[in-house]
Amino acid sequence: MNMLNEDVTFYDLKEAVRNKEFIMYYQPQINIKTMKVCSVEALLRWKSKKFGAILPPYFISMLEETEKIKEVGKFVLEEACNELNMLENLKYNNLSMAVNISGKQLEDESFLNFVENVVKDKKVRTDYLSFELTERILISPTKPIVQSFNGIRNLGIKIYIDDYGIKNSSLDYLRQFAFDGIKIDKSFVSGITNSQKEFIIAKNIVDLANELDIDSIAEGVEKEEQVKYLKSIGCKKVQGFFFARPMDSKNLLKFLKNFEERG
């Protein structure tokens, strides 16, 4: 897992796509008030025959550069929709599914059409589906990006800003686009209990979300104390290793069952 980006070649990626070496993991998101699982985030995993298990930071950017993200992104959305339908059939019908979408996908003019076809084909309840976009994508949006964004929302799919506040300081896009929620990056969550500064930043992000009447999800929650702080500032949802690591579909079902029984 401690492999460097440079070790992976375009050829390796092409082979991985061809050999279907990608699988989806799912990480639960918990409603802080009810302490029940309300959604899961779909996270891509590469089980490489050559390198072993590889995490997204080592290959997502290369998938984007080679345009292979379109093919893999198709797999991601289809798998996430299958999982959402399976959860519904197993009576986990109040769970939503969050899917990460890369800028490359959003600016592709055929993306909207593709999403429309997938959700129609799979008969997915679109109000239980959300897309996570990093703010980088929206700072200087092109026309296709704006069209995809609006089209996605018209389909009833929710849109969240991922990694909020870490790279860009522009708030203009918040005014320009209608979001359903903000994800507070783990870098702000990690210091929330012992740094006044990080507490204030996290509180400001949550206040902003609450005043805009949109959802807030804190990611990278690893300690119980962080949950308490996040609850005290009015954050709506939490996600992180404290509750569960990302896991495959089989383990997700086990987790959901245990979590339910724990009450």
Q: Which residues bind ligand C2E (CB under 6 A)?
A: 27, 43-44, 55-57, 60, 76, 100-102, 132, 162-163, 186, 219-222, 240-241, 246
Among 163, 203, 238, 244, binds Ca ion (CB under 5 A): 163
Among 21, 79, 108, 132, binds Ca ion (CB under 5 A): 132
Among 27, 29, 48, 100, binds Ca ion (CB under 5 A): 100
Spatial CB neighbours of 132, under 8 Å, sequence gap ≥ 6: 41, 98, 99, 100, 101, 159, 160, 161, 162, 183
- Cα–Cα dist 144/198, whole Å: 36
User: What is the nearest approach in angstroms of ligand C2E to the Cβ of residue 12?
Assistant: 18
The tokens describing 27, both together, are 């990480």
Nearer to ligand C2E, 69 or 95 (CB): 69
Is 162 one of the binding residues for Ca ion (CB under 5 A)?
yes
Neighbouring CB atoms inside 10 A of 49's CB total 10
Is 130 one of the binding residues for Ca ion (CB under 5 A)?
no
User: What is the nearest approach in angstroms of Ca ion to the Cβ of residue 201?
Assistant: 15
Nearest Cα neighbor of 194 from 165, 225, 172 is 225
Residues 2-61 that bind Ca ion (CB under 5 A): none
Spatial CB neighbours of 3, under 8 Å, sequence gap ≥ 6: 51, 54, 58
Nearer to ligand C2E, 97 or 175 (CB): 97
CA 140, 144, 146, 148 torsion: positive or negative? negative
| 108 touches, from Ca ion, ligand C2E, none (C-beta below 5 to 8 Å by class) | none
DSSP string, 187-226: HHHTTTTT-HHHHHHHHHHHHHHHHTT-EEEE----SHHH
User: What is the nearest approach in angstroms of ligand C2E to the Cβ of residue 91?
Assistant: 26
Nearer to Ca ion, 12 or 46 (CB): 46
